[in-house]
Structure formats: C-alpha cells, structure tokens
Amino acid sequence: MSASDHRSPDDAARRIEQLRAAIRRHDRLYFVEHAPEISDVEYDRLMRELRDLEAAHPQLVTLDSPTQRVGERPLEGFVHVRHAVPMLSIDNTYSPGELREFDARVRKLLGGEPYAYVVDPKIDGVAVSLRYEDGRLVQGATRGDGETGDDVTQNLRVIRSIPLSLLGAGWPRVLEVRGEVYWPRSAFDRHNAERIARGEEPFKNPRNATAGTLKQLDARDVEPRGLAFQCHGLGQIEPVIADAPTHTAVFARLREWGLPTSPHQRLCRDIAAVIAFVEEWSTQRRALDYETDGLVVKIDSLVQRERLGTTAKSPRWCIAFKYAAEQAPTRLLSVDFQVGKLGTITPVANLEPVELAGTTVRRASLHNFDYVREKDLHVGDLVTVEKAGEIIPQVVAVDVSQRPADAARVEPPTACPACGGTVVQDEGGVYLRCVNPECPAQIVEKLKFFCGRGQMDIEGLGEAIIERLHEAGLVRTYGDLFRLSEARDRIEKLVFEQQRESSGAMRTIRVEFGSVRTDKLLRGLEAARRRPLSRLLAALNIRHVGATTAEDLAAHFGDLDALAAADEARLQEVEGVGPEVAASVREYFTSEAGRRVVEELRAVGVNFAEPRRAAAGGGGPLAGKTIVVTGTLTRYTRGEIEQLIKDLGGKAASSVSRKTDYVVAGEAAGSKLDKARELGVTVLSEDEFERMVGPRS
C-alpha cells in the first residue's frame, strides 16, 4: 500500500494541488521555454505520485489535471462548432514593394497618426482556436471555413505545450487564442523513421501529417507524435484586458499565463524596420525546428485594428510576407506515367537528386500533358525545379540552350502504362484517361482513397500495405478489405521490402508483416466497419461528392438505402445539392457497378446509417429551447454538447439572458452561472441534462 493511501482527504487535496502546480510549471519549462530544470526520471516520479493520489481519492480528480490529458473513449466523429470571432484568412505579399503598398493603405486609413507593427514567423501548420473559460481549456477547434470548424478538443488536450489550466491569475473570464499546431521537424523525422522500421509508409510532410493527426478519432494515437502549439492571434476576450492595449502587451500576459508564443516576435516602429527583418529572417528561418514560409505583419495597437477593420475575407491590419519558392537546376532523367483513381494519367519527372528546401528532391510534378507540350520537355534537359513549403516539387523551367544532342521529346502514352488498355483524351488535349474499369492501378488508387483520412480512416492500412495486399491477390474490392480477417495467416507471412541505413549507406531488407501489425490492421478494419454513413459516402469516390456533400446527404436521408432510392428531384431537396451533383449520385447508385458495391458492403456488415438528428424547432426533446453551457464538463467537450443540443432541436447560445431556458453548469461555472441565478433561469447539472434528453445512442 502506498503512502498516498494513508493521507486524509484534506492532506491529499493539498498535496494533489502542489503536484499539479509543479507538473504544470515543469511542462511549461520543458515544452514552451525549452529550459527543463529536472530530469525525466524526476518528472515521472511527480506524475506517478499524482496518479497514485488521484486513484486513492477519485473524488479529487478534475478534468484539467495533468493526468487527464488523454480521454478514455475514442470519438465516433467530429462535430462542427461556430467560432465566436471568425478566423479570417490573411492576404499575401511577395516583395518589399508590396509591403510598402500595404503600409501606404494603413497610413491613409489611420489619418497619419503614429503606429507600429509586430512581426512573427509564419508557421506552416494547422490553424486552431483555443477557448479558455475561467482559466480552463473548454474547447479547441480547427479553422475550417473560418466561420465553423471541427471540435478537436480531445486531440489538442494531449499536446503538452497547450496548458489545460492557465497559470497565475488575472486572466479574463473568456479568453480565445488562435495559433498553429505543428509537427517539429526533429519529432517528425523520428516518427517517420519508426514508421519505416515498422514497414509503414512514411508521412510525406509535417503540415499534411499534422492535419491528419488532428483528425484522429482516438487521442491515444495523437499523444506519442509530439505535436506542438504556438499562439499567434486573439479571438473573443471578455472582459477586455484593460491595461494591455497592444498585441505585444497581451502576448506578454499570455506568456505569464503559460501559453506558448514565438520567441522571435519583433516590434517594428515603421515599414523600413519590417523590411529589414524580412531580409534578416530569410536565412535565419532555416535554423528553426519547424516549417515556415514567411512572416506575418500586424498592427500592434488593438484599438487601431478595430478602426482599420476587415474586408469580407481578411483583416486590413495584417498581411503575410511569403518568401519566394526555392529553386535549383537538375537533369530530367526520365518520365513516369501515374494512373489515378479515376483513370487520369499524370506525367511525373524523375530527376538527378538535388537538395532543395532542406530535402533531397528526386521526383517532381509535370502537372499534365498540356504543360509538357508547353515546356517542350525532353529527357536529358537541364530543368529548374521549385519547392515551396509542403507543395510537391515541380518543374518550372527548361534551359533549351543546354539540351543534349540525343535528348528525346516526352510523348504521351498511346496505351495505359498500368494495364495496356485504351486511353482517351479530353477535348482540350490536357488530360489522358484510361477507360478500363479493371485497370489494376485504378483499383489500387480507389482502395487507397477509400481507406484514407477523411474517408474510412483505417488505422494500420497505409498505401504501401494496400499495394502489397493487392499484389498478393488479397484485396480487389472494398468488401475484400472487411474479409481480411479470414486471411490472417497469409497477411502475417506477407514479405515487405524496407530501406534501412547501415554504415552510412541505404540497403534493402525483407521483413514479414507479423502478428502485431496484423492485429492493428484488423482492429482498424473493425472500427471502420462502424463509421457513420457520411464517412462511407465520402469514401465511395462518387463524382462531385466530397466530405461536406456526403455529410449533407447522410444527414438528410439517414441511411444508404433511402439515399440510393432517391430520384434527382429528391436529391436536390438537400441544401447545396444541385442538378450536377444529383445526376452524379443518381448515376452511381443506379449503375451496375454502384449496386454491386452497395450489396458487397452490406454483406460484410458495413454500417449504412447516419445518427439521426432532430431539426431545430422540430420534435426533439429540446425543441424551441435556448440553452447556455458553462464551466468544465466531464462527459462532453463543449462542441459535443452544443452539437447535441442542436441535434435535439434546441439552440446553443453563448450568453445568458431572459430568453435563456436552461443553463448547463459544469465545474467552475463562473459568471454565467451567477447571471442565470440572478435572472431565475433554470440551472442543470450534467446528470440533470442527461436525464432530460435521455441516453445517447
């Protein structure tokens, strides 16, 4: 029995608060300031003592405890949340002259009064908004379309540089900060090395991998990846911080409260100082442990920002300076022709290896055959390759004067390079397509798309594994994926080739897939079998049906059979579905191939239903009710409970008034709870709310 078991509740509570404060401080020192004061062993000892105490006194566990970063249950999907203050995009500029033009507009709008700029590195990550109420993190959401984003609170909680509770005191009741989640290069490279060692496909770049990581349904898959966060902007703040009238003053407070901000932020008194920083930073940025493609220039005064205002898309007080894409010369060795999931054939350049933007480039996009003709590309040409951020390298120029005598013109294929089938050209001559529905390359690409993030999101089934399973004859159709458990022995014995570094050289080794990876793959498939209809629709590769349209169709019809039976008129009743989309959906479900897919997926037990939602004002148990949620909840994130309120016919409001019907109050509810009591609004606990709405399906 540990010593923690003998403490009185009061002693345990005091020690728990001491441990939490110490761990939060050390988290900040390690993950934000990069200046640890204790060893990993000492840190683990503090965390272990806290876990033991909380296990012995479960009534003292709170949601913002350092032990509670990872939730117990994976999510079934993400809910949409509306940003209290829109997350607008930022206009770009590419030259000192354009920066001066921006400055001239600002000077004119401000009528000649003095102003200053604050400049930050532009991290190439995923924009998110963090909402703190009474010092506790209650919600984190992606930018989305700027008005609404996905609630990813559960995944953001496991990022150690994001505090679950703010440090110190004096923070406003509501504090929203905006920033970038990113994958540090060092952590990204380590993770990719581990993936390669396990026989998995490495991620292509940190930015796209970060976006995919934030859409994982189980936060336990996010935590070990080592993502980081850095603040760069502000959202809703209530009440305003009266003695912090500038961006730099507010950010000094954010640092005091434990939020990570850029150590490279610079205050510039005029545009000349901004341009000098731009020039200075052009080389310094390469030493950072994260991807960056420029700087963000903002007016420092918050009052002046209000006066400058915004356009429909972007603020007038802010602009991004983006550095020119890096370029390098190299030789075009050959051209491959790749076949996509719809049969489109794309030319890809094979190049002499060249160092560019911190990576070795061996292949580059040639876009399409119109582009190849325009550049008059020949194998053997000296070409210029360009790479910017996460953008795929591309050939942008040809030096014809350096063309070898034996250079051969790049000609489009006359037959499909994968199956030898017939190819057809579009009217403009830009694209070639293979029209063979049994083309193996198309089959593999469709399987990759079906299994990918944003579609069925099958854990453990990367692109290289799909290719090997297809090559072994184990999968040809979507239904085959869900029958793989019947071929477990064959999967375990599949041999994969891996690249390993040895004595400074890369060598190829052959390894079996094995039982551990097979277990992970089969678990991923079983989870995918239960995905909601909206994810299945997005995965079916129906022309014009992306994730948003799939969600709208699934919510409207509720199950796949009802959708498949709908005619074009009924399909167009769905908001956002016009004649072209309706015709495409109808064509898919009435085609022999589409019907075959549906019946095969039915036979293997794939879910065809979407959780039914009651329309606001309809017949749900909260129909016509206005509900405000406040405080920290234990069973829901803020986005989840607000979405549930909407699904059950109610309206989720952000402030309490005489029109409010109920306030759902969690831990540390604060001023909204006080106002509800003052106005006589009915206050519900989480238990009372759940009894009112009934159990969740």
Question: CATH number, domain at 9?
Answer: 1.10.287.610
Placement of tokens 């921006």 in the chain? 102
Mean pLDDT across 190-218: 82
Instruction: Assign 168 to helix, strand or coil.
Output: coil
Q: Is residue 292 scored above 60 in pLDDT? A: yes
133, part of any domain: yes
Q: Is residue 585 scored above 80 in pLDDT? A: yes
Same domain (yes/no): 239, 221: yes
Contact 202/192 with Cβ under 8 angstroms? Answer: yes
DSSP single-letter state for residue 51: H
Q: What is the pLDDT of residue 285?
A: 84
> pTM (2 decimals)?
0.60
Q: What is the pLDDT of residue 427?
A: 60
Mean pLDDT across 511-535: 87
Question: CA-CA-CA-CA torsion for 465, 471, 472, 478, nearest 10 degrees?
Answer: 70
Mean pLDDT across 293-303: 94
Q: What is the pLDDT of residue 99?
A: 95
139 Ramachandran zone, left/alpha/beta (phi>0; psi -120 to 50): beta
36, part of any domain: yes
Mean pLDDT across 461-483: 92
Q: Is residue 425 scored above 90 in pLDDT? A: no
Residue 583 — pLDDT band, cuts 50, 70, 90? Answer: very high
269 backbone dihedrals φ, ψ, rounded to 5°: -80, -20
Residues 278-307: b if buried by 16+ CB within 10 A, e if exposed: beebeeebeeeebbbbbbbbbbbbbebbee
Q: Is residue 71 scored above 60 in pLDDT? A: no
Same domain (yes/no): 138, 250: yes
Last residue of a domain, one of 498, 513, 528: 528
Last residue of a domain, one of 418, 449, 482: 418
428, part of any domain: no
Same domain (yes/no): 384, 346: yes
Residue 34 — pLDDT band, cuts 50, 70, 90? Answer: low
Q: Could you tell me which of 210, 211, 240, 245 has the C-alpha nearest to residue 227?
A: 210
Residue 145 — pLDDT band, cuts 50, 70, 90? Answer: confident
Same domain (yes/no): 380, 290: no
* CATH at 114: 3.30.470.30
Q: Is residue 73 scored above 60 in pLDDT? A: no
Contact 508/520 with Cβ under 8 angstroms? Answer: no
Q: Could you tell me which of 202, 424, 434 has the C-alpha nearest to residue 340?
A: 434
Residue 475 — pLDDT band, cuts 50, 70, 90? Answer: very high
Q: What is the pLDDT of residues 310-335, one digit of tens each?
A: 876 789 999 999 887 788 999 999 99
Mean pLDDT across 117-136: 93
Of 13-27, 339-353, 469-483, the least confident: 13-27
Q: Could you tell me which of 403, 423, 404, 402 has the C-alpha nearest to residue 414?
A: 423
492, part of any domain: yes
Q: What is the pLDDT of residue 477?
A: 95
Same domain (yes/no): 114, 250: yes
Q: What is the pLDDT of residue 352?
A: 92
609 backbone dihedrals φ, ψ, rounded to 5°: -110, 155
Contact 187/193 with Cβ under 8 angstroms? Answer: no
Q: Is residue 389 scored above 60 in pLDDT? A: no
Give how many domains the chain has, as a whole number: 6
Last residue of a domain, one of 480, 507, 528: 528
Residue 356 — pLDDT band, cuts 50, 70, 90? Answer: confident
Altogether, the residues listed in the chain come to a count of: 697
Same domain (yes/no): 187, 271: yes
Same domain (yes/no): 537, 634: no
Residue 615 — pLDDT band, cuts 50, 70, 90? Answer: very low
Q: Is residue 35 scored above 80 in pLDDT? A: no
Same domain (yes/no): 474, 594: no
For residues 260 and 429, which has the higher predicted lDDT (pLDDT)?
260
Q: How many CA atoms lie within 13 A of 597 on its CB side?
A: 22
Mean pLDDT across 327-346: 90
* CATH at 551: 1.10.150.20
Q: Is residue 379 scored above 90 in pLDDT? A: yes
278 backbone dihedrals φ, ψ, rounded to 5°: -55, -45
For residues 482 and 430, which has the higher predicted lDDT (pLDDT)?
482
545, part of any domain: yes
Instruction: Assign 176 to helix, strand or coil.
Output: strand
161, part of any domain: yes
Q: Is residue 1 scored above 60 in pLDDT? A: no
Q: Give the domain range for residue 305.
A: 81-322
Same domain (yes/no): 280, 147: yes
Q: What is the pLDDT of residue 80?
A: 79
Of 25-34, 36-45, 367-376, the least confident: 25-34
Q: Is residue 619 scored above 60 in pLDDT? A: no
Q: Is residue 249 scored above 50 in pLDDT? A: yes
Q: Is residue 30 scored above 80 in pLDDT? A: no
Same domain (yes/no): 144, 207: yes
Q: How many CA atoms lie within 13 A of 566 on its CB side?
A: 23
Q: Could you tell me which of 526, 536, 518 has the C-alpha nearest to residue 465?
A: 518
Cα 392-393-394 angle, rounded to 5 deg: 110
- Parallel, antiparallel or unpaired: strands 626-630 and 662-665: parallel
Average pLDDT of the chain to the nearest whole number: 85
* CATH at 348: 2.40.50.140
Tokens (6 digits) for 328: 């390098």
214, part of any domain: yes
Most confident by average pLDDT, 135-149, 386-400, 505-519: 135-149
* CATH at 679: 3.40.50.10190
> CA 346 to CA 580: how far, in whole Å?
26
- Is the preceding omega at residue 260 within 30 degrees of 0, hence cis? no
Same domain (yes/no): 594, 638: no
Q: What is the pLDDT of residue 616?
A: 42
Q: Is residue 590 scored above 90 in pLDDT? A: yes
Contact 235/84 with Cβ under 8 angstroms? Answer: yes
Burial of 157 (0-12, 13-18, 19+ CB in 10 A): buried
> CA 541 to CA 544: how far, in whole Å?
9
616, part of any domain: no
Same domain (yes/no): 140, 275: yes
Mean pLDDT across 87-99: 89
Q: What is the pLDDT of residue 445?
A: 93
Instruction: Just list the catalytic residues.
Output: 122
Of 381-385, 393-397, 499-503, 637-641, the least confident: 499-503
